[in-house]
Amino acid sequence: MTGLAVDDAAWASAWRTRSPLDKLALSAGLVVCALVLPVWPGGVLVALAAVALALGPARVPARTFGRAVRWPLAFVAVGAVTAVVSVDGGGLGWAPDAATRAGELVGHSVAGGAAVLLLATTTPMSDLLPALTRLRVPAAVVEVASVTYRLLFVLLESLRTIREAQTARMGHAGWRRSLRSSGALAAAVLTRSWDRARRLQEGLAGRGMETGLRVLPEARPSSPAFLAATGAGLAALVAVGVVGA
């Protein structure tokens, strides 16, 4: 357990051993379809395909998938309502085709969100980041991002522990105290992150680090069958999405 449900799901997923680039191709294809195809029937099919793949072959817990979409749904709901409300001469009203437009916005967002979540719940960041070097992202940037990913959980753990201790000492009773405690919390986490980085650096220097962090890459060969199925599935989605619209 790392505390981030989506990350836990990614490590436990049945698709964990698949090539990250294969999964990236599938999700990216679905994301583009969700964005470009009309919501009916294309977007709906994308959403169904992403959810079915995640809950079916990738065996992501439905609870995790469901909980993860709550946040984006809140934004989508507020954003879509704001977009279709019309300000007319000081009065508020619905724009002419409000229901259709809101439906389209929600449809695109839900389909796209499900497609991204399919990647997120099947591929840990530590698999995805090295794959980025193959997409010509500089190695130094990928390394910084990898260190960020690994330190993140340490810092989140510190954050949780310190906040618990503060709460136990009434540190979050009332607005003033709570703000003061949050400031101290941020400072503690920042100095701890510096301390961690310095100690890691000293440890690595002692082991002779000169050019970047070398880790043994796990070989995850690309599967021709998976790629062929992805291509065929996406082509079918596009065909149905274009003809059915």
Partner 1 sequence: MHIAEGFLPAPHAIGWTVAAAPFVVHGARAVVREVRERPESTLLLGAAGAFTFVLSAIKLPSVTGSSSHPTGTGAGAVLFRPPVMALLGTVVLLFQALLLAHGGLTTLGANAFAFAVVGPWAGYGAYRLARSLGAGLLPGVFVALALADLATYVTTSLQLALAFPDAAGGFAGAAAKFLGVFALTQVPLAVAEGLLGVLLFRVLTVNARPELERLGLLRPAPLATTEEVR
Name residues contacting partner 1, limited to 173-232 (CB under 8 A): 175, 178-180, 182-191, 193-194, 196-198, 200-201, 204-205, 209-213
Write out the binding residues for partner 1, residues 116-155 only, by CB under 8 A.
Answer: 116-117, 119-120, 125, 128, 137-138, 140-141, 143-152, 154-155
CB of 160 to partner 1, least distance (A): 10
Task: Mark the segment that binds partner 1 (CB under 8 A) among 34-42, 52-60, 223-231, 234-242.
Answer: 34-42
In angstroms, what is the minimal distance from the CB of 216 to partner 1?
A: 18
Residue 46 in contact with residue 154, Cβ under 8 Å? no
Q: Is 123 helix (H, G, I), strand (E, B) or coil?
A: coil
Which residue lies nearer to partner 1 by CB, 5 or 224? 5
Nearer to partner 1, 81 or 235 (CB): 81
> How many other C-beta atoms lie within 10 A of the C-beta of residue 111?
26
Q: Using CB under 8 A, which of 11, 40, 55, 95 touches partner 1?
A: 95
Q: By C-beta, is 82 or 225 nearer to partner 1? A: 82
Question: In the complex with partner 1, which residue's Cβ is closer, 210 or 216?
Answer: 210
Q: In angstroms, give the least distance from the CB of 224 to partner 1.
A: 25
Tokens 């836990």 correspond to 8
Residue with tokens 């607005």: 175
Residue 61 DSSP one-character state: -
Amino acid present at 145? A
Give the helix/strand (H/E) hosting 101: helix 98-120
